[in-house]
Amino acid sequence: MSDNSVIVIGGGVAGLTAAALLSNEGVPVKLFESHHQLGGCAGTFRRGPYLFDVGATQVAGLETGGIHERLFRYLKCSMPAAELLDPACLVDLCDGSKPIRLWHDPQRWLEERQRQFPGSESFWALCSALHKSNWVFSGRDPVLPSRSFWDFFQLLKAIRFQNIAAGLLVPFSIYDLLKVCGCNTDSRLKKFLDLQLRLYSQEPSETTAALYGATVLQMAQAPLGLWHIYGSMQKISDELERCCKRNGSKIFLKHKVVGLTFEQDKKINWTVDVIDPNGLALQLPASDIVCSLPPQSLLKLMKSKSKLSDHYLETIRRLPRPSSAVVFYGALPKKALPIKKFSHYQLATKDLGSLFISISQDGDGRAPLGKLTFIASAFSRGEEWFELDKITYKQKKEDILSKIMDNLQLRLNISRSSWLHTELATPKSFAYWTGRPYGIVGGLGQHPLRFGPFGLSSRTPIKGLWLCGDSIHPGEGTAGVSQSSLMVVRQLLASRGYHLNIPK
Ligand SMILES: Cc1cc2nc3c(=O)[nH]c(=O)nc-3n(C[C@H](O)[C@H](O)[C@H](O)COP(=O)(O)OP(=O)(O)OC[C@H]3O[C@@H](n4cnc5c(N)ncnc54)[C@H](O)[C@@H]3O)c2cc1C
Average pLDDT on 490-501 reads 96
Q: Is residue 150 part of a domain?
A: yes
- Sign, CA torsion 373/379/383/388: negative
Among 439, 461, 476, where does a domain finish? Answer: 439
pLDDT at 442: 83
**Domain check: are 307 and 367 in the same one?**
no
Once rounded to an integer, what is the mean pLDDT over residues 17-42? 97
Residue 107 within a domain = yes
Residues 451 and 306 in one domain: yes
Confidence of residue 3 (pLDDT cuts 50, 70, 90): low
Give me the sheet containing 100-101, strands edge to edge: 100-101, 90-92, 344-349, 353-359, 371-380, 324-333, 421-425
Does some domain include residue 249? yes
Question: Which residue among 41, 238, 255 is best mutated to probe the pocket of ligand 1, counting the most ligand atoms within 8 A of its Cβ?
Answer: 41
pLDDT in tens, 155-183: 999 999 889 989 999 999 999 999 999 99
The answer to whether residues 312 and 460 belong to one domain is yes
Instruction: Please compute the mean of the pLDDT values over residues 376-390 and round it to a whole number.
Output: 95
370 with 261, same domain?
no
Q: Give the chain's domain count.
A: 3
User: 1 pLDDT exceeds 80?
Assistant: no
Across residues 385-392, what is the average pLDDT? 96
Say yes or no: 456 and 425 in one domain.
no
Residue after which a domain boundary falls, among 189, 224, 259? 224
438-450: average pLDDT:
92
pLDDT score for 236: 98
Each residue of 176-188: pLDDT tens digit?
A: 999 999 999 999 9
What phi and psi, each to the nearest 5 degrees, are found at residue 331?
-140, 145
286 CA from centroid of ligand 1 (Å)? 24
Could you tell me where the beta strands, DSSP code E, fall in 402-448? 421-425
- The answer to the question of residue 271 being in a domain is yes
Residue 74 lies in a domain: no
54: CA distance to ligand 1 center in Å? 9
342 and 488 belong to one structural domain: no
* Domain housing 386: 324-439
476 and 374 part of one domain? no
Pocket test residue of 52, 256, 257, 293 for ligand 1, highest count of atoms within 8 A of CB:
293
Q: Identify the pLDDT of residue 126.
A: 97
* Ligand 1 atom closest to 484 (CA): 26
CA of 284 to the centre of ligand 1 (A): 25
Statement: residue 401 has pLDDT above 90: yes
Same domain, 314 and 447: yes
State which of 162, 193, 224 marks the end of a domain.
224
Q: What is the pLDDT of residue 321?
A: 86
Per-residue confidence at 2, pLDDT binned at 50, 70, 90? low
In the structure, which protein residues have their CB atom closer than 6 angstroms to any atom of ligand 1?
9-15, 32-35, 40-42, 55-59, 256-257, 292-293, 325, 327, 377, 434-436, 441-442, 469-470, 476-478, 481
Same domain, 107 and 197: yes
Assess whether pLDDT exceeds 70 at residue 145: yes
Q: Which residues contact 59 (CB under 8 A, 6 or more apart)?
A: 68, 82, 226, 227, 228, 229, 233, 236, 478, 479
pLDDT in tens, 32-80: 999 999 999 999 999 999 999 999 999 999 999 999 999 999 999 999 9
Does one domain contain both 210 and 304? no
The string of pLDDT tens digits covering residues 84-114 is 999 999 999 999 999 999 999 999 999 999 9
The predicted model gives 206-230 an average pLDDT of: 97
pLDDT grade for 315, boundaries at 50, 70 and 90: very high
Task: Tell whether 455 and 418 lie within a shared domain.
Answer: no
Atom 14 of ligand 1, residue of closest alpha carbon: 56
For residue 61, what pLDDT is reported? Answer: 97
CATH number of domain containing 306: 3.50.50.60
- How far is the centre of ligand 1, averaged over its atoms, from the C-alpha of 15 (Å)? 10
What is the end-to-end Cα distance of the chain in Å, rounded? 34
Helix (H, G, I), strand (E, B) or coil at 262: strand
CA distance linking residue 272 with residue 466, whole number of Å: 14
Residue 422 located in a structural domain: yes
Q: Place 231 in a pLDDT band, splitting at 50, 70 and 90.
A: very high
pLDDT of amino acid 4: 80
Residue 188 and residue 132 share a domain: yes
| Nearest by Cα to 91 from 176, 221, 199, 216 | 199
CA torsion angle 489 492 497 501 (round to 10): 20
Q: Which phi-psi region, left, alpha or beta, contains residue 261 (left: φ > 0; alpha: ψ -120 to 50)?
A: beta
**Residue located nearest, by CA, to atom 10 of ligand 1:** 477
> Could you tell me which of 32, 33, 31 has the C-alpha nearest to residue 43?
33
pLDDT of 211 strictly over 70: yes
d(CA 403, CA 145): 41
One-letter-per-residue 3-state SS of 326-372: EEEEEEEEHHHCCCCCCCEEEEEECCCEEEEEEECCCCCCCCCCCEE
Q: Is residue 118 part of a domain?
A: yes
Instruction: State mean pLDDT over 364-389.
Output: 96
CA 14 to ligand 1: nearest atom: 25
Distance 12 CA to ligand 1 centre (A): 6
Distance (angstroms) between ligand 1 centre and the Cα of 295 equals 13
Residue 60 domain-assigned (yes or no): no
Arithmetic mean of pLDDT over the chain: 95
Reported as type and span, the H/E element at residue 84 is: strand 82-84
Q: How far is CA 55 from CA 97, 425, 476, 504, in A?
A: 29, 10, 12, 29
pTM check: above 0.95:
yes
Helices (H) and strands (E) in the chain, counts: 16, 20
As a whole number of angstroms, the distance between CA 288 and CA 29 comes to 10
Please report how many Cα atoms fall inside a 13 Å half-sphere around the Cα of residue 364, on the Cβ side.
Answer: 25
Give the pLDDT confidence score for residue 340 in this predicted structure: 64
- What was the pLDDT predicted at 341? 72
Query: Looking at ligand 1, which atom is closest to the CA of residue 443?
Result: 19
pLDDT digits (tens, 9 = 90+) for 246-303: 999 999 999 999 999 999 888 899 999 999 999 999 999 999 999 999 999 999 999 9
